[in-house]
Amino acid sequence: MRDRLIQLAVVVLAVIAFTCAGKLLPAVLRVSDENGLRYTDVSLEGAPPIVAIGTAIGVLRGVVVDYLWIKAGMQKEKGLFYEAMTDARLITKLQPRFGEVWSFQGHNMAYNISVLTDTPSERWEWVRAGIDLVRDEGLRYNPNDLILHKELAFWLSHKIDGVADDAHLYYKREFAREWQYLLGIPPGSHQDRINWIAKIKDAPDSIEALELKNPAVHGMVEQLKSGLSGFDQRFQFQLDSKFLTNLGRWQSVQTSRYAKLLGLDDTFRTNDPIFAMFDTVLKTPESQAALVDFLPFLQKKVLLESFNMDPALMWEYTRDFGPFDWRHPQSHAFYWARKGATTAAKRSSNVEDIYKVLNNDRINIQAMQALSRTGMMQYDPFSNDNPGRLNDPRWIKAIDRYFGELYRKHFGTRGGGGDSFCDFYQNFMSQAVRELYRMADYEGAQAILTKLDSLFGRGGLIPNNKYEAPLATFVHNVTFNEYNGSPDVARSDVYAALERGFREGLLFERPQVLKEALEFAKGLTTYFQENQYTDFVNKFGERRMADLIGSLRTSVQDVFANVVMDSSQPLMDRLTIYNRAGESERRMIHDQVKGVLEAEYSLDPLSNVVPFTQLFPEPPDMDAYRQFQAAEAVRRGAEAETSKRSTAELK
């Protein structure tokens, strides 16, 4: 009897529990749906039976996901990347908050499947698809997942901005083109870039609010709607990324040097009805006034909805760190790594997770380092050229500030977390002192040197005099003394200094930069060739060490020719550098580079409009120079023959 009563009580309690649960379930589901907390309970079209069963019977969902996850891993190991992607996609549908599967799928697309394709454009589509998947979907479901942020930042840094992929130059062009169409060409100064992003950040959140702010917007929008009404549904007026891209393309034609030289404005107006419609509507004074407010509003909307990027954070990072150019992949690598470190801070506070934070922060500061090396960009989306990427020394001081934050953050991390940033800082900043000194920013160079001394020199844990020398002496010591043991570094530094001198000094018309580069190269060449450690002659009559660096004339000729023939830089920029150089430098390389540049230019659409000789004129007195070169060749040949006979006689 007692057992019967217990069983009855349990049944009654179960009925009460199920009744209460049934009443609470609608509210729980509503809150879950509102906050994106619920996994799917909808059958997936085309899914295998086990997935359909697991979806229908919620308790088995975890088992199904485990099965698919193991299966996807096995398929990847066998090289069945497409099949693995299919199963991974099913997992994201069943459990969208399983962050690792988003990372798995994005990496599979960007790295594994992309390299199986035949053309750069196909490869780029897969790389972009992997990045878009994690950025636009994975991180919306998992906004606090640090690993997803880090992985996305790494792909942008390594896959697009790195050089490991054969198609990396194509990626850089496409990435720069996309973001130039979306945001335009950024202004030059840091403060102007802060203001530029601030205008996007502060734009109204709705078209109605925008029209209240600027009534001219309403008239322009109505004209655009009317103008696009006759086109296919795909091209109707929509406040989306496709519309912004078309608008950005139209604007780029107005500012592109290539577009002007090739007459693309007239060509597009004749052959592209959408471009012609933009041209008709947007060139009026009323529309130009409306665009001032409409464009930032549309950019803000597209960034938030299509790229999952917050203009407020973009503004904050630009204000607090440096002059980001969003056409550069490293700017995006920094954005996602920094956002991950911020949003995932509360979820990454335990001892094990701190190493995830450490690796993520390394990506942040490495992105800043890359921007200091290549962050000053020039790009024309209508050319076949790669984006021009030059040093941006403004990032040196930004890294100097950021190092302190990272060091304090990871001071107590086991395994020398803070020390890893110290090593980075010392190496980078020692080079930065030299760079700022050569740019004649003596105050900035001295400030960094003083800080190095206080942190790692006389004020370090083990006091030493590594950084106590006067600025000029330190630069001299760092520049020259290390060459005795590493002579190849001397040649590298001569070439690097001259390359920067030609690129920045001529392209940006900064003669002082070129002058200082030539002076440095001359001083280092003289020092190295006359140094007691290198100025000795072997039994063959050769200066085995000193001749690793040729004469200054030889170095100038080699570097200038390399700069002009460097196809990773825009052709028009290189032709500009050539034409701004002195006559003697142009004579040195004219015959050497002419054939290469002419062949490259023949593939450029501009060649149908402007003859090559107009952009690459022959310097004066070339005939006399050729005769001089021929005489020098004869002289050197005679000297070599004499040396050869002398050596034979000694034997």
pLDDT digits over 206-233, tens only?
999 999 999 999 999 999 888 888 777 7
**What is the predicted pLDDT for the residue at 550?**
46
3-state secondary structure of 236: coil
pTM for the full model? 0.77
Residue 192 has pLDDT above 80, yes or no: yes
Which residue reads 């209460």 in tokens?
20
Q: By C-alpha distance, which of 186, 150, 183, 403 is closest to 296?
A: 183
Q: Give the contacts of 552 (CB within 8 A, at least 6 positions apart).
A: 518, 521, 522, 525
Residue ranges in 326-470 assigned as alpha helix (H) = 329-343, 354-374, 394-410, 417-438, 442-456
3-state secondary structure of 390: strand
Q: How many CB atoms lie within 10 A of CB 647?
A: 12
Lowest mean pLDDT among 23-32, 64-73, 78-87: 23-32
Which residue reads 């007691």 in tokens?
532
**What is the predicted pLDDT for the residue at 118?**
82
Going by the DSSP 8-state scheme, the letter that residue 309 receives in this structure is: -
Which residue reads 């006759």 in tokens?
230
Q: How many CB atoms lie within 10 A of CB 583?
A: 12
Per residue in 99-111, pLDDT (tens digit) is 888 888 888 888 9
Q: State how far the Cα of 361 lies from the Cα of 410, in Å rounded to an integer.
A: 10
Q: Is 645 exposed, middle or buried (0-12, 13-18, 19+ CB in 10 A)?
A: exposed
Per residue in 269-323, pLDDT (tens digit) is 888 888 888 888 898 899 899 999 999 999 999 999 999 999 999 999 999 999 9
Residue 370 has pLDDT above 70, yes or no: yes
* 358-to-208, 348, 397 alpha-carbon distances in Å: 44, 11, 22
Residue 487 has pLDDT above 70, yes or no: no
Tokens representing 383 are 């050319």
DSSP state string for 437-455: HHTT-HHHHHHHHHHHHHH
**What is the predicted pLDDT for the residue at 102?**
86
Q: State how far the Cα of 465 lies from the Cα of 473, in Å rounded to an integer.
A: 13
